[in-house]
Every structure is written in structure tokens, then in C-alpha cells.
Amino acid sequence: MNFLDQLIAPLYTMPLGEVAFWITLENIAIFAATLVIGHVLVKLFADNRNAEPPPPIIRLEVILAASCVLLNSLITFIGAVLWRADIIRLRPESSLLGVLVDFVILFMAMDFAMYVFHRVAHHPLLYPIIHDTHHRFENPRPLTLFVLNPFETLGFGALWLLVIAIYSASFTGMILYLTMNVAFGLVGHLGVEPAPRRWLNLPIIRYISTSTFHAEHHADRYHNFGFYTVIWDRLFGTLSPDYDTDFTTAASG
């Protein structure tokens, strides 16, 4: 049993009230760390803006962000309960290659699933209910990552639980994916572009999304529905025609 397995082993027998407490504490810590790191990145790349500076934070943003953290805790708690019920299964740790395979599968499966969910959320019948809340804040800042309608937070959480219920990944692979998920979400809402200009000329790397990619979506809700990659937007014709130009203008180097 490796360190991560030892870390979560007590959750299998711990009273559910204690599980909920530690999971909530974890999500609050993730929230705080994300905002601190985001603030540092915005300062470091202040000259590389890809969106107008956001206006002062309003009360609604704080309330929605707090609800997002609590709902993320609920989703994590449900995942723990499903794991204890043997509905979600963790594959035994094998090798570094196995962990990387798990990560790539989770990364690509969730990227596609969230692209589909995102496009559905933009349907005229669903947009006012699910996604309009997020788009009220068109000039993003790190906090905007968490400023979501509760239905949207629960929808993304349900996708994650479905994927890991279908695919039994190693716990290390899951942690690697979840870490990257937060990282991509943060980068997408910085309002500045930390990636170098040569990004779009690098094989494979050029298909990874950037801060500018998601900033464009905040400004133009008819393009750029992807999260981690631009693959699905290229494939389905929803990539902004201005992406290359906007990225080159914002990026440095």
C-alpha cells in the first residue's frame, strides 16, 4: 500500500460525519490555494491581458463561489460513499505507466464529456437555467472559476462520478487528473496569458487549451466550448476564428 492509499484508507471505516468534515476542509483548502496561486499569476503576467480587468467583486460572486465549494464537497462526499459501497472502485497501484494511462483516459474522457455538457448548457432552453450565471462575469479573475450556478456545479460533478464509476482508475491517477483539472480551470480564468507565444507552434502542445482560449469564450459564448484541449472545438467547428490572433497578441516571448 503506497502513501496515498494509506492516506485514504481511514475514510473507508470512518464515521460519515467525520468523512464530510475532512472532505469539506479539503475543498476549502483547494479553494484558498487556487485563489492565492491565481493572484500571483495575475501579478506576474499583468502585461499579458487577454480580457479587460474585472470590476470589483460583488456579493453574488462570493455567494456563488461559497456554494460551489460546498457542492464540490458534497460531490466528493458522494464519491466517498459510492467507493465505500464498492460502486466506485479504485484500481490497485501498479506502475508509473499505469498511473499515466489512467490520467490520460480520465483527462480525455472528461474533456469530451464536459465539452458536450458545455454545449448542451448553451442550448437556448437550458442556458438561462444552467449557464447564464457564469457568463454574467465576462471579464474573468481566479474567483470566477468557482462562480457557477449550482445546477452547473452538480452537472460537472455528476459527470465525474459517472466516469470514475465506469472506469476504475488508480487513486494516484485520479489525484493527478483532479490536480490538472483545477490547474486548467484556474488558467482559464486568469484574464492574463501565461503561455509563451511559441505554444501554438509546438506539436501536440498546440492542442492544449490556453487562458486566451477560455477568455474568448467568456467574450463570445458561441465558440470555444472545450476545457483542457481545443480538439473537440476544431473537430466540431466551434473554435473561434480569432483564436490564433488573440493568443499571439496576449502571449509573451
The rounded distance, in Å, linking the Cα atoms of 250 and 48 is: 5
Contact assessment for residue 219 and residue 213, using Cβ atoms and an 8 Å cutoff: no
Contact assessment for residue 144 and residue 189, using Cβ atoms and an 8 Å cutoff: yes
Cα separations (Å) of 124 from 108, 136, 154? 27, 16, 20
Angle at 40 between CA 35 and CA 43, to 5 degrees: 125
Q: What is the mean pLDDT of residues 199-204?
A: 95
What is the average pLDDT score of the chain? 95
Q: Report pLDDT digits (tens) over 39-86.
A: 999 999 999 999 999 999 999 999 999 999 999 999 999 999 999 999
The rounded distance, in Å, linking the Cα atoms of 111 and 163 is: 11
Q: Report pLDDT digits (tens) over 53-63.
A: 999 999 999 99
The C-alpha cell that represents 181 in the structure block: 483539472
Residue 81: φ, ψ to 5°:
-65, -45
Instruction: Give 176's contacts (C-beta < 8 A, 6+ positions apart).
Output: 99, 102, 103
Contact assessment for residue 133 and residue 114, using Cβ atoms and an 8 Å cutoff: no
Task: Indicate whether 164 pLDDT > 70.
Answer: yes
Contact assessment for residue 155 and residue 121, using Cβ atoms and an 8 Å cutoff: yes
Q: Report pLDDT digits (tens) over 235-244.
A: 999 999 999 9
What's the whole-model pTM score?
A: 0.93
Contact assessment for residue 51 and residue 139, using Cβ atoms and an 8 Å cutoff: yes
